[in-house]
Amino acid sequence: MANNTGFMKNKGEDRPGTGSSFGTEMKHKAQDAGSAIADKGREAAATVTDKARDAMSAVSDKARETASNLGNTASEAASNLGQKAEDATTAVGGSMKSLAGTIRENAPEGGFIGSAGSTLADTLEKGGRYLEEQGLSGMGDDLTNLIRRNPVPALLVGIGLGYLIARATRS
């Protein structure tokens, strides 16, 4: 009888390069990459939220300042407030584009997570570019055109929103 002990594997050992250890290793790498993307996304979302809050605070401060200054006319105050709101919208758009870049840098190259990260980054970048280029006035124009093209659905949406607001304030 030949001695086959050199070819036997001890229980609990996994040979390097086997499918089990490779799959487990890839699973852990994917989980780590997903966690890193989620963390970066949370950080970027917090940054965008903080910037939006700061911008709205600046708009509010400017509105108070403008209201207390009796020398300004109403049209000047509205113009200043409108400009601050436009600036805040542009800042949020820039933050969205920055978040898209961060996601692209930290997302894996391929696979499901990589594809999802790339799609999310593309969407954020497009939205950020739209906010930077169009601002609030462009958004208002787009909304006006949408309502003109679809008056009946717009009317129904308005009625529905009015009903919901009335129900919420009645209780």
- Mind listing the pLDDT tens digit for each residue in 122-135? 998 998 888 888 88
Tell me the pLDDT tens digit for each residue of 37-64.
766 666 766 676 667 667 667 766 776 6
What range defines the domain where residue 75 resides? 31-135
Structural domains counted in the chain? 1
Q: Per the domain annotation, does 81 fall within a domain?
A: yes
Domain presence at residue 35: yes
* 93 is a domain residue: yes
97 occurs within a structural domain: yes
3-state secondary structure the chain: CCCCHHHCCCCCCCCCCCHHHHHHHHHHHHHHHHHHHHHHHHHHHHHHHHHHHHHHHHHHHHHHHHHHCCCCCHHHHHHHHHHHHHHHHHHHHHHHHHHHHHHHHHCCCCHHHHHHHHHHHHHHHHHHHHHHHHHHHHHHHHHHHHHHHCHHHHHHHHHHHHHHHHHHHHC
- Note the pTM of the prediction, 2 decimals: 0.44
Does 47 fall in a domain?
yes
- Is residue 163 in some structural domain? no
